[in-house]
A = this chain, B = another copy of it.
Amino acid sequence: MDKALHNAVKTALEADHARLAAYLHIETVSAQHRGIKETVAFLKQSFLELGAEVQVWDEFDGNPFVFATFQAGVNGNANKTLLFYNHYDVQPPEPLDEWHTEPFNLTEVDGKYVARGISDDKGELMARLSAVKALQQTGGLPCNLKFIVEGEEEVGSLHVAQMTKAHADDLKADALVWETGGKDANENFAITCGVKGIVSFELSVSTADVDLHSSLAAYADNAAWRLTKALSSLKDDHDHVLVAGFYDDVRPLTASEQRATEEMSFNAAATRTGWGLKRPFVTEDPKTALVNAPTMTINGLSSGYEGDGVKTVLPKYAKAKLDCRLVPGQEPQQVASLVAAQLKRNGFADVQLKFLLGEAPFRSNLDDPFVGQAVETAHEVYGDQVTLVPNAAGGGPQAPFFDAVHAPIVAVGANWSGSGAHAPNESVRVADYAEDVLYTASLLTAFGKH
């Protein structure tokens, strides 16, 4: 480990603490349209102070993108460019009464930084800027850098696909470092190389113009029964999706993906107790399922009378919200079409499917040299406790970035298993934050060399 870099990171962290606190202090709640302009100005200024060129892309309908570029230092490799993806918006702080500190005031409690956005994802961007500063003060940047920071991640990254198409040339890079990463419940530092895709849709059925008195169940059909039967026809009793073609396009894991999946760190006991799971796992192989099993989830059910006590009503209407998490090979619109076709075949042509949103899956090639550099650098910084994850179980707009940039994507960061990204008392451990800065600087150094 480079002693000079170590010291430079320490110095940068001290110097940048006020900026971190100031950034977290802005209430950038995209769901409530708060703080956007102020945040964009703050970021522009922060990048400029570090010597970047900055553009604000506001030609789309939503919140502006902030785009910054740094040239490699004189000793750096001007032929290699790394792109960072982050977002400047945060989740609403509610429920406020569950916070032990002020949500938008950075506070240090028991070795942890606590604030809305410290984990997801303002803290992460500031850590990356501290890594930039540390590198600038120890021989200069080892490669070119680009930063794209969006302001709508917490409301669905609504304009990323448009933006990546329009600015493919600007975004050009040899590798991409994604937001959100850190240590898992086993304290292993994870390098995550992709995301699952998603398709969200609503199923609804209407059986009458008005809610009926339940005595008419003698002859009148019931929307709630109809929906229940329709849903039930889509899954067997072993969590297998009964939609013809649903699994057909799933790309089998490569040998490298298979090996990484087997070696992945997964703490079943911590998972069970942490969330109070009352049922057995739906799979015997949760690691493979997390990486490569498409899922179908009922997110919500709604029909008829849902209040207290008794109302003897026969509902005219019933609705379910569902999402399917998708894996490489699957396509959101296609999966929605398969579900609709299956419902029809099962005799539920009256159950309407409404497409809500779709996001493609993405997985980097695990054999890509950049993935190797990310893992190797992790071992230098974190020792043995490193885990390579082929893709996250959750989503994110990686596919449109890849389509524009055609470069491998890894997600790394400073989180710990108790970070509580969207919850009250969101936190990052101070030591993890410092390690993350060192890791980022070291990764850029390795990347510039090869």
Contacts and interface: CB of A to CB of B under 8 A. Distances in A.
A312 B323 contact: yes
Contacts of A232: 228-229, 231-232
Contacts of A320: 224
A281 B254 CA distance: 53
Interface in A290-309: 290, 293, 295-306, 309
Interface residues of A, number: 78
A356 B148 CA distance: 57
Nearest to A347: B237
A216 interface: yes
Interface of A: 156, 196, 198, 200, 206-210, 212-222, 224-229, 231-232, 235, 237, 239, 271, 275-283, 286, 289-290, 293, 295-306, 309-315, 318-321, 323, 325, 347, 350, 356-357, 392-395
Contacts of A215: 196, 290, 325, 392-395
A280 B220 CA distance: 8
Given A220-B281, A225-B297, 5 more contacts: A218-B325, A224-B299, A228-B228, A228-B231, A299-B311
Given A218-B290, A279-B221, A289-B219, A313 B299 contact: yes
Contacts of A323: 214, 310, 312
A324 to B, nearest CB: 9
Given A286-B218, A290-B219, A228 B298 contact: yes
A216 B237 CA distance: 18
Nearest to A210: B275
A283 B228 CA distance: 19
